[in-house]
């Protein structure tokens, strides 16, 4: 029995708001989330899950509202904590993390921790919702570490190439706990 999970990287968010939990979508992000709704409209989605972060929830909320579905928040699908302060040179920080999955700032998470947390949450979803079609509101780094878990060739260059791709959909197909296919979908093509 196959389980299909569509991870949805959030639409464009307001980077002037440095509160990771409450960062809202921009007006472009609010419009672009309709691309997600349109793409998913014929996928027979049964369950809507999300990171607890506002930008991830709001990206899948348009779909959920249109289909009268609730959104279940899963804390462990949240984005990586970078540090307690804003990092100005995000590119160099990201390169350091992708070069060493254990690299982190004093009050942040390393990619190994983010990946472990997200994969554990995913394993619970696969166990609880086996055979279902599911969407998960997600984030660029969190989603990239999930892809990397199943495809070790996905690294910094791949991560950098999706920097401005918001929203972005990645479809995973599982047989039990085994990922048998990953499909990356650019909604802007």
Q: Return the structure tokens found at 57.
A: 């929830």
Mean per-residue pLDDT for 111-118? 98
10 touches 139 (CB < 8 A) = yes
Confidence at 103, pLDDT banded by 50, 70, 90: very high
Confidence at 14, pLDDT banded by 50, 70, 90: very high
Provide the residue count of the chain. Answer: 189
Mean pLDDT, the chain, rounded, equals 95
- pTM listed for this prediction: 0.95
Q: Domain of 171: which CATH number?
A: 3.40.50.1240
Distance CA 138, CA 157 (A): 20
Could you tell me which residues come within 8 angstroms of residue 56 by beta carbon, excluding any fewer than 6 positions away? 8, 10, 50, 77, 79, 137, 138, 139
24-35 confidence digits (pLDDT tens): 999 999 999 999
55-69 confidence digits (pLDDT tens): 999 999 999 999 999
Phi, psi (5° rounding) for residue 33?
-65, -20
pLDDT computed for residue 97 by the predictor: 96
| H or E, element range at 112 | helix 111-128
Domain containing 96: what range? Answer: 2-185
Confidence at 9, pLDDT banded by 50, 70, 90: very high
Distance CA 40, CA 187 (A): 11
Strands of the sheet containing 47-50, edge to edge, are 71-73, 47-50, 133-138, 2-9, 168-175, 178-185
Q: Return the structure tokens found at 144.
A: 């990239």
Distance CA 145, CA 114 (A): 7
The structural domain count of the chain equals 1
> What does each C-alpha distance from 52 to 130, 137, 181 come to in angstroms?
22, 9, 26
Distance CA 165, CA 56 (A): 14
pLDDT computed for residue 89 by the predictor: 84
pLDDT computed for residue 162 by the predictor: 94
43 touches 10 (CB < 8 A) = no
């Amino acid at each position: 029995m196959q389980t299909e999970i569509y991870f949805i990287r959030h639409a464009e968010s307001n980077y002037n708001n440095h509160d990771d939990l409450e960062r809202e979508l921009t007006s472009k992000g609010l419009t672009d989330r309709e691309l997600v709704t349109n793409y998913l409209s014929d996928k027979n989605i049964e369950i809507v899950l999300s990171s607890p972060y506002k930008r991830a929830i709001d990206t899948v909320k348009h779909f959920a509202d249109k289909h009268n579905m609730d959104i279940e928040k899963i804390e462990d699908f949240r984005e990586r904590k970078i540090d307690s302060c804003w990092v100005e040179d995000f590119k160099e920080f990201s390169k350091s993390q992708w070069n060493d999955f254990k690299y982190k700032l004093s009050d942040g998470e390393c990619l190994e921790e983010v990946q472990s947390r997200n994969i554990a949450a995913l394993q619970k979803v696969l166990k609880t919702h086996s055979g279902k079609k599911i969407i998960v509101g997600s984030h660029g780094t969190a989603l990239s570490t999930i892809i990397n878990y199943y495809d070790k060739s996905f690294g910094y260059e791949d991560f950098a190439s999706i920097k401005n791709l918001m929203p972005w959909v990645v479809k995973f197909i599982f047989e039990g706990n085994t990922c048998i296919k990953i499909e990356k979908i650019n909604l802007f093509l």
